[in-house]
Amino acid sequence: MKTFYITTAIVYPNSDPHIGFAYEQICADAIARWHRLLGEEVFFLTGSDEHGAKIAAAAKKSGKEPKEFVDEQVKKFTAIAKTLNLTHSRFIRTTDKDHEKIAKEIFQKVFEKGDIYKGSYAGLYCVGCESFLTEKDLVEGKCPIHQTAPQAIQEENYFFRLSKYEKQVLDLLENGFFEPKERVKEIVNRIAKNGLQDLSVSRPKTNVAWGIECPFDKNQTIYVWFDALLNYVSGAKTGKKDFWPADIHIIGKEISWFHCVIFPAMLLSTGLQLPKKVFAHGWLTVNGQKMSKSLGNVIDPNYLCKKYSTDVLRYLLVREIPFGQDGDFSEAALKTRNNNELANELGNLVNRTIVMIEKYCNGKIPKAKTSAELEKALNLKKIEEHMEKLELHAALSEIFAFIASCNKFINDKAPWKLKGKELEEVLFSLADSIRIISILVSPFMPSASEKINEQLGVKSGLLKDCKFNLLKAGTTIKKSEILFKKIE
């Protein structure tokens, strides 16, 4: 069986899950579920990045030890993963013993190769980014992401020869390693402007004690980003097999530098295989404004799932925002999508079809063949192409174009006016089409898919089952509550 390994960025659990976290996870989950539909063995990794100065500061502020603090915070992320109906194969924590062991081994290997050396660092450090910055990185003296002035630090630590791998990294960037293409230009321009400078990859314990101890110097801890990036390697080992290298890393655009410059350089040093692709999605705004605690617009996905439903939130986030671009979230858009596409189009199609089969066919699937008209309306190849290109919103659009064709088919044929074989062909055609729709929407709205299958009396299928005339005549349908309720 072909394998498919997908990862997301691991969360920094110094605050609670928000809508931005949900967006990345839902999109990655839809991709993972799609590859399961293809019949592949999928390994889906996410987790938490638990070391570093920022975590230590947040723990101290809460009056807790770092491990106690992250243990409590991680519970919130594993809980929301269940609420969002995510299908992770593993939730890795960088405090896991197997990760710490592998991180030390790789750090030691890079050191023995001569790519880590001791030196002195004097410069700027943003605790929010857990990253070293230059004056050129700042905007009006502040970190452009966190809007805070970085700390001026001077310390003795270890450096990674990042500069050694500049040409190889540029070659990767120019040959499709990182997407979307517009993000590649930003990274290439940054390298062209400043070159790749060697990177400090350890901190003295006197400054950052909360981290993985350097294997060859007990007075130093491994730099949090060097440690964190290795989760994709350590988390891929299951005991039975090793899924590395990843087929795709899904990340937010703000951490592109670490994933498409520093990480591949680290891997090149170790001799490990590189991930096949890194894909950076955009930022979410809320009602046109950047999310901010001070503005009070940081949205809890738990609230949205409870108020509307997980499937409605999943649909809105994938359908509304082209994957890879910045996008805006609003409850108004969620309500509009729910009422129009989910309730009026998908929900109404399923409900009308089930009711008519119950009324005209004694609740059993009639014996007939699917209309050629509906067979032609489904462009499965186009849906597959969109998913291959990670155009998730476009794939959903194409699926709903088929749903619209099915609704038009009902209106045009007016089955309530038909009898005999004509009526049976129309109702079979609709039920068979809905079976296929259930398969196609399952990566995006898994609960709705399950409910459709229950009503049709069928089991969930794979993409190879998206062929017409596979629905068995005589199958008993089971009317249920409507899929999506309109939001007033």
Q: For each of the domains in the chain, give its residue range(s) and CATH number, in order of start.
A: 331-465 (1.10.730.10)
> Given the structure tokens 């005339």, which residue do they identify?
469
Q: What is the pLDDT of residue 63?
A: 96
Task: Find out whether 14 and 73 touch, Cβ atoms under 8 Å.
Answer: yes
Residue 291 has pLDDT above 90, yes or no: no
Q: What is the pLDDT of residue 124?
A: 81
Task: Find out whether 456 and 431 touch, Cβ atoms under 8 Å.
Answer: yes
The alpha helices in 287-391, defined as continuous H runs, are 301-307, 310-320, 331-337, 348-360, 372-377, 380-388
Q: Apex CA 476: angle with CA 471 and CA 479, to 5°?
A: 110
Average pLDDT of the chain, as a whole number: 94
Q: Tell me the C-alpha distance between 395 and 319, whole Å.
A: 9
- Ordered DSSP codes for 436-476: HHHHHHTTT-HHHHHHHHHHHT-----GGG--TT-SPTTPB
Q: What is the pLDDT of residue 294?
A: 62
The 10s digit of each residue's pLDDT in 388-419 is: 999 999 999 999 999 999 999 999 999 999 99
Name the CA radius of gyration of the chain, rounded: 26
Percent of the chain past pLDDT 70, that is, above it, reads 98
Task: Give Cα 218 distance to the centre of its chain.
Answer: 37
- For residue 130, the one-letter residue type is E
Q: Tell me the C-alpha distance between 269 and 105, whole Å.
A: 13
More confident residue, 298 or 274: 274
**Angstrom distances, CA of residue 186 to CA of 156, 191, 236, 260:** 31, 9, 30, 12
Q: In what order do the strands lie in the sheet with 289-290?
A: 289-290, 284-286, 327-329
> Given the structure tokens 């671009």, which residue do they identify?
325
Residue 179, SS3?
Answer: strand
Q: Which residues of 428-463 are buried (b: 16+ CB within 10 A; e: fewer)?
A: bbbbbbbbbbbbbbbbbbbebbebbbebbbbeebeb
What number is the average pLDDT over the span 409-435? 97
Q: What is the pLDDT of residue 138?
A: 78
Least confident of 137-146, 237-246, 353-362, 459-468: 137-146
The 10s digit of each residue's pLDDT in 187-227 is: 999 999 989 999 999 999 999 999 999 999 999 999 999 99
Residue 230 has pLDDT above 90, yes or no: yes
Q: Apex CA 416: angle with CA 487 and CA 429, to 5°?
A: 80
Q: What is the pLDDT of residue 248?
A: 98
Burial of 401 (0-12, 13-18, 19+ CB in 10 A): middle
Report the interhelical angle of 53-62 vs 66-83 (nearest 10°): 100
Residue 153 has pLDDT above 80, yes or no: no
Q: What is the pLDDT of residue 150?
A: 82
Q: What is the pLDDT of residue 359?
A: 96
Q: Tell me the C-alpha distance between 177 and 201, whole Å.
A: 24
Q: Give the containing element (helix H, strand E) for 47.
A: strand 41-48
What number is the average pLDDT over the span 431-458? 98
Residue 237, SS3?
Answer: strand
What number is the average pLDDT over the span 111-123? 91
Q: What is the pLDDT of residue 128?
A: 67
Least confident of 51-60, 120-129, 283-292, 418-427: 120-129
Q: Tell me the C-alpha distance between 430 and 425, whole Å.
A: 9
The alpha helices in 160-309, defined as continuous H runs, are 166-173, 181-194, 224-229, 231-234, 256-257, 263-270, 301-307
The 10s digit of each residue's pLDDT in 314-341 is: 999 999 999 999 999 999 999 999 999 9
Q: Is the preceding omega at residue 245 within 30 degrees of 0, hence cis? A: yes
Percent of the chain past pLDDT 90, that is, above it, reads 86
